[in-house]
Amino acid sequence: MNPNYWLLATICCPVLVLLIVKRNEAKRRRLLRQLRKQWGKPVENTRDFAWIGYYSSLVNAPGRVSNQLINDLDLHELFHYLDRTQSKPGQQYLYHRLLHPVADLQELQAFDDLCEHFLHVVQNREKAQLLLTTLSSHEAYYISTLLEANGFAEPAWAKWLPVNQCLVIVLLLASLQYPFLLIWSIIPFTINMLLHLWTRFKAGRYIHAINQLNTLITVTDELGKAGIPMQHWPISQELQALQRFRKKSAWLHRGTVNSDLNTVLFLAIDAVKALFLIETSTFISCMRFIRNNRQSISCLMAWTGRADAALSFASLKTGHHDWCKPFLVPGEKRMIAYDMYHPLINGCVRNSIEINGKGLLVTGSNMSGKTTFIRTLAINTLLAQTFYTCFARYFQLPFVQVHSSIRVSDDLLSGKSYFLEEVHLIGEFIAAAGNGEQHLFVLDEVFKGTNTAERIAAGKAILSRLNNSNSMVVVSTHDTELARLLKEEYNLYHFEEIIRDNQLVFDHVLKTGPLTRSNAIRLLQLNGYPESVVQEAQQITDKLKTDLIRANSLSGITP
C-alpha cells in the first residue's frame, strides 16, 4: 500500500477526532448559555399531563391528594409555574411530589438542603443540568411504562428458545459434512424469521423505554459521582443491580438506517439475528430483568427526579425573593401566616392570619378576594409539606392532610345534583375528621345549592362538627347570619369593597371581625336597574334585617 495513504490517514484521523471534540464542546457551551439564561425564570412549554402523571399513577404511593383538591387549587396551573426541570423523569417526579405531601420533617429538610446546594454550588448545579438534559426527549417519558405490573406478557414458547438456537447451530455445523441438511434448515430459519418479526412488533413499544433506561442508568451513575449531597437517599445497591442491563440490551434493534451502505450492513446483521433468534432472546431476557428489577428502576427514577426537582425549586427561589421555609409543629391546632400571597397572581395583595384553637370564617362579596384567600392558604399548606417552601414572610403549621370543597359541580351522567355532590363530599370530610389524624378543611359557600334557612342550619351544624376535632377549618361565605351563629367557635374575618366615583373598588385586604355592610343593592342602582326595583329590594332588605334582629333577641342570640 502506498505509504502516502498511511501518512494521510495518520494526519486525518487525529484531525477528525479533534473536529468531533470541538463540535461537542461548542454544543455543550451553547447549551450551557441557554441554561444560564433560563435560570430563575418560568419555562413556557406545553405540558403533556397524561405522560407527566403516568409515573405517579403507577407508583401508587399513599397520601395522594384528591382530584377535587387538584381542581379546586388549580394544581396543574401551579405546576406550570413551578416546573423548571431539565428531564422528563424529573418532571414526572416533580408532579408526583406535588400531589403527595409527607409528614416527615427529615425528608423535607433533606430536599431543602439539596436545593440550597444547587443555589450556592454553581459548578455542581450546571453539571447536573447538563447531565439531565440527556433525558429531555419525549421518549424519556416511556421509562415509566417499564413499571407497569401487567406490561409485557412472556409467551409460553420462550422457554424453548435455547433448544431452537441449539438446533440451528447443530444443523449448520452438520451441513458442512452433509450439505442436504441445509434444505432442512429452511424450516427452523422460517420459524425464526417469523419470531424475529414478532419481536420487532412487540419490542417496538418498549425499545425507546429500554434505550432511555440505559441513559437514566448513566445519568444516575454520573450524578452519584458529582459530589451532590444525596446521602439521605442511598442508591448504590439499585444502581449496581441495573448496571448489567446496559450490556444485556446491546443486541436490541435501536432504530432506522440512513444510507445504502448502512442498509446492506443492517440487513446482513439482521439476518444473523433472525437465524439465531439473538434479538428475540435478548428482548425476552431484558423484559425478565425489568420485571425482576422494577423496584430498582422506580428508585432510580425517583432519585434522579428528586435531583431535578431540587434544581427546579432552586431556580424558582432564585427568581422569587419573597418565600420562606415553613415552621412545622406537629399536633398543634395552630397556623400562622404573615404576608402570605398566591404565586400565580401578579401583584397579589399579601394577607396575614392566625388560627389558634378556633376555625377561620371569612365573609365578603363576590370578587372581594375571599375564595382566592382560602386557595392561597391551602396552596401554601400543600407546598410546605411537599417542597418545604411557602410564599409568605413566615408560615407556621402542623402536618395536615388538605381537603377542599370550592368547585363542586353536578354529575349529569350519574344523576347527582350539585347539592348531592356537595353532601357526599362534606360527608367524607366528617368521616376524615374522626380518623384521629389532623386535617385542614377548606370550604367555599357551604351548601349554596339549597334554600337559605336549611343552608345556614346545615352549614352551622357541619362547621361546628368539623371544628370540634383537632383539625382546622377555613370557610368563606356570603352568609353573615352563619358568621353570627359561629362567632364563638370561629375567628371572623372579612373582605369588603367600597364605591368610589360610582365604581366598585376592591382592596383585597383581609380585615378582622364580621362584615358589617353590603353594597349589593347599591350596585343594582349603579348598573342602571329601574328605581322601583332598587327601592323594593331595599325595603325587603330592611324588613328582613328587622325580623332577624327580633328573632335573635327572642332566642337570646346577640347580633
Q: What are residue 492's DSSP bridge partners?
A: 361
Question: Cα-flanking dihedrals φ and ψ of residue 474, to 5°?
Answer: -125, 125
Question: In the prediction, which pLDDT does 259 show?
Answer: 43
pLDDT tens profile 193-208:
888 887 777 777 788 8
Q: How far apart are CA 407 and CA 440, in angstroms?
A: 17
pLDDT tens profile 298-321:
999 999 999 999 999 999 999 887
Longest pairwise C-alpha distance within the chain? 118
pLDDT band at 530 (very low <50, low <70, confident <90, very high): confident
Whole-number average pLDDT of the chain: 85
More reliable by pLDDT, 187 or 122 = 122
Question: In the prediction, which pLDDT does 320 show?
Answer: 80
Is the pLDDT score of 112 beyond 90? yes
Do 320 and 391 meet the contact criterion of CB atoms below 8 Å apart?
A: yes
Sign of CA dihedral 97, 99, 103, 109: positive
How many residues would you count in the chain?
Answer: 559
In percent, the amount of the chain with pLDDT more than 90 equals 45
Do 171 and 191 meet the contact criterion of CB atoms below 8 Å apart?
A: no
Question: In the prediction, which pLDDT does 6 show?
Answer: 62
Do 206 and 147 meet the contact criterion of CB atoms below 8 Å apart?
A: no
Q: How far apart are CA 301 and CA 85, in angstroms?
A: 14
pLDDT tens profile 61-96:
889 999 999 999 999 999 999 999 999 999 999 999
pLDDT band at 161 (very low <50, low <70, confident <90, very high): confident
Question: In the prediction, which pLDDT does 373 show?
Answer: 95
Question: In the prediction, which pLDDT does 256 show?
Answer: 47
Mean pLDDT within 247-257: 64
Tell the residue number behind the cell numbers 344523576, with chain if given.
Answer: 415
pLDDT tens profile 8-62:
666 666 766 666 666 767 888 898 899 989 999 989 888 999 999 999 999 888 8
Q: How far apart are CA 440 and CA 101, in angstroms?
A: 13
Instruction: Report the predicted TM-score, pTM, of the whole model to 2 decimal places.
Output: 0.87
3-class state of residue 408 by DSSP: coil
Q: Order of strands across the sheet with 439-444?
A: 401-405, 439-444, 472-477, 359-363, 490-494, 511-512
How far apart are the two ends of the chain, measured CA to CA in Å?
109
pLDDT tens profile 209-240:
998 999 999 999 999 988 888 888 888 899 98
